[in-house]
């Protein structure tokens, strides 16, 4: 059984689109996605520096576009539903996963995430806040220490990693008095995402998201909220869930914790045997190697990783993507 996952904010790096632009079809695809995003994704993915692409308004559409470029090269003309059994994305990656699942087309996903990104950037600018990864330690003690510092567990990632978020003074208290056997690592992000600091972003994004054009998923799609598939949420209403439920949860996700640990538990329960992380891959496969024992993984970082990804797809889905036919 094959899973395809999409990374979240912080995975971007300068010039990450440069090798992809050498592939047929990618320049035209990125031109279309740039128009949808209303920013120059090609320039940001080739010449912009690290500080520029750290800006939430740039980083989020850049990341979703990168995953969708990799997906197009991986699957070719074959619909993802013919190849993928289950898909999920971490935070902003959930919008890319929704596109893989057929909820949006590529342009629709990038346009929607651009609205999300602008709203979250404005919320982050309104009050200073940040995030830090807490690696190691007893899970209960880590959560207690985060709460004691006046912070929130914004990402519960599994594999001994929780991301704390909130005001800078709270993050400083946590770093000065970390949980036993844990390290606190500051993250280079603009604000405390997935916390009440993003209330204004949720308020701005919700009417946009819930009114967005969407279709029901054609692939099992997992929610960051609780790791459940949208099919479970919908009951018998739709075999893979309802597009309206996806939109509602994407809006709520702006202030809700990302429960990637529960998404990984669901992947195991479903019987996933192979996992491909779309570009810019690496973070989620690293978590998978620590948590999804026995699951073969490939991270697509550059086009050089496509052949290994196609091979994994062929062996775990039983279908060879047409891009390599």
Confidence of residue 319 (pLDDT cuts 50, 70, 90): low
Beta pairing partners, 183 = 135
Which of 202, 254, 297 has the alpha carbon at shortest distance from 94?
A: 254
Check whether residue 170 and residue 53 sit in a common domain: no
Chosen domain end from 146, 168, 186: 186
Check whether residue 296 and residue 253 sit in a common domain: yes
Check whether residue 156 and residue 304 sit in a common domain: no
Do the domain assignments include residue 191?
no
Check whether residue 85 and residue 66 sit in a common domain: yes
Do the domain assignments include residue 68?
yes
Q: What is the pLDDT of residue 190?
A: 86
Residues 6 or more apart whose CB falls under 8 angstroms from that of 102 comprise 79, 80, 81, 215, 216, 217, 218, 219
Q: What is the pLDDT of residue 233?
A: 85
Check whether residue 77 and residue 177 sit in a common domain: no
Sheet holding 161-166, edge to edge: 152-158, 161-166, 130-136, 182-186
Q: Is 194 a catalytic residue?
A: yes
d(CA 89, CA 260): 9
Do the domain assignments include residue 280?
yes
Check whether residue 78 and residue 223 sit in a common domain: yes
Q: What is the pLDDT of residues 166-188, one digit of tens each?
A: 999 999 999 999 999 999 999 97
Residue keyed to tokens 């819930």: 210
User: Encoding tokens for residue 80?
Assistant: 């993802």
3-class DSSP state for residue 182? strand
Q: What is the pLDDT of residues 207-219, one digit of tens each?
A: 999 999 999 999 9
Angle between helices 199-210 and 106-126 (to 10 degrees): 160
Chain-wide mean pLDDT for the chain? 95
H/E stretch holding 77 reads none
State which residues form the domain around 82: 2-125+196-324
Q: What is the pLDDT of residues 111-146, one digit of tens each?
A: 999 999 999 999 999 999 999 999 999 999 999 999
List the catalytic residue out of 90, 194, 240, 316.
194
Q: What is the pLDDT of residues 234-285, one digit of tens each?
A: 776 678 999 999 999 999 999 999 999 999 999 999 999 999 999 999 999 9
Angle between helices 56-75 and 26-37 (to 10 degrees): 150
User: Encoding tokens for residue 231?
Assistant: 């099919």
d(CA 303, CA 282): 14
pTM of the complete model: 0.94
Rg of the chain over CA atoms, in angstroms? Answer: 18
Check whether residue 118 and residue 232 sit in a common domain: yes
What values do phi and psi take at 323, rounded to 5?
Answer: -60, -20
Q: In this prediction, what percent of the chain has a pLDDT beyond 70?
A: 97
Q: What is the pLDDT of residue 238?
A: 76
Q: How many domains does the chain fold into? A: 2
d(CA 264, CA 88): 9
List the catalytic residue out of 11, 48, 67, 91.
91
CATH of the domain at 302: 3.40.366.10
Q: What is the pLDDT of residue 323?
A: 45
Check whether residue 135 and residue 115 sit in a common domain: no
Do the domain assignments include residue 141?
yes
Q: What is the pLDDT of residues 10-64, one digit of tens each?
A: 899 999 999 999 999 999 999 999 999 999 999 999 999 999 999 999 999 999 9
- Strands of 187-245, DSSP E: 220-221
Residues 6 or more apart whose CB falls under 8 angstroms from that of 191 comprise 56, 120, 123, 124, 125, 127, 129, 130, 131, 197, 198
Residue 192 has pLDDT above 60, yes or no: yes
Residue 77, Cβ neighbours under 10 Å: how many? 9
- First-to-last alpha carbon distance for the chain, in angstroms, is 21
Residue 324 has pLDDT above 80, yes or no: no
Q: What is the pLDDT of residue 236?
A: 67
Q: Is 240 a catalytic residue?
A: no
Please say whether the beta carbons of 281 and 305 come within 8 A: yes
Check whether residue 228 and residue 111 sit in a common domain: yes
- Strands of 137-291, DSSP E: 152-158, 161-166, 182-186, 220-221, 274-277
């Amino acid at each position: 059984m094959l899973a395809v996952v999409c990374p979240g904010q912080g995975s971007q790096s300068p010039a990450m689109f440069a090798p992809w632009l050498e592939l047929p079809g990618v320049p035209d695809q990125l031109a279309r996605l740039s128009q949808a995003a209303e920013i120059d994704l090609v320039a940001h993915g080739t010449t912009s520096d690290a500080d520029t692409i750290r800006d939430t308004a740039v980083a989020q559409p850049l990341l979703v576009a990168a995953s969708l470029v990799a997906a197009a090269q991986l699957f070719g003309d074959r619909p993802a539903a013919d190849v993928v059994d289950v898909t999920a994305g971490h935070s902003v990656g959930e919008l890319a996963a929704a596109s893989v699942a057929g909820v949006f087309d590529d342009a629709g996903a990038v346009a929607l995430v651009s609205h999300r990104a602008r709203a979250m950037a404005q919320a982050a600018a309104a009050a200073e806040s940040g995030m830090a990864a807490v690696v190691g330690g007893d899970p209960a003690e880590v959560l207690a220490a985060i709460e004691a510092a006046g912070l929130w567990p914004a990402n519960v990632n599994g594999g001994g990693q929780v991301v704390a978020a909130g005001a800078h003074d709270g993050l400083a208290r946590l770093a000065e008095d970390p949980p036993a056997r844990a390290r606190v690592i500051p993250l280079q992000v603009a604000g405390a995402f997935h916390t009440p600091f993003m209330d204004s972003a949720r308020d701005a994004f919700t009417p946009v998201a819930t009114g967005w054009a969407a279709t029901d998923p054609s692939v099992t799609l997992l929610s960051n909220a609780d790791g459940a598939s949208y099919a479970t949420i919908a009951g018998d209403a739709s075999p893979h869930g309802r597009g309206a439920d996806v939109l509602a949860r994407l809006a709520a996700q702006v202030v809700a914790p990302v429960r990637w640990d529960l998404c990984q538990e669901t992947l195991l329960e479903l019987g996933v045997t192979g996992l491909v992380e779309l570009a810019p891959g690496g973070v989620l496969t690293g978590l998978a190697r620590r948590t999804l024992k026995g699951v073969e993984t490939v991270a697509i970082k550059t086009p050089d990783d496509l052949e290994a990804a196609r091979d994994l797809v062929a062996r775990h889905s039983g279908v060879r993507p047409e891009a390599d036919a």
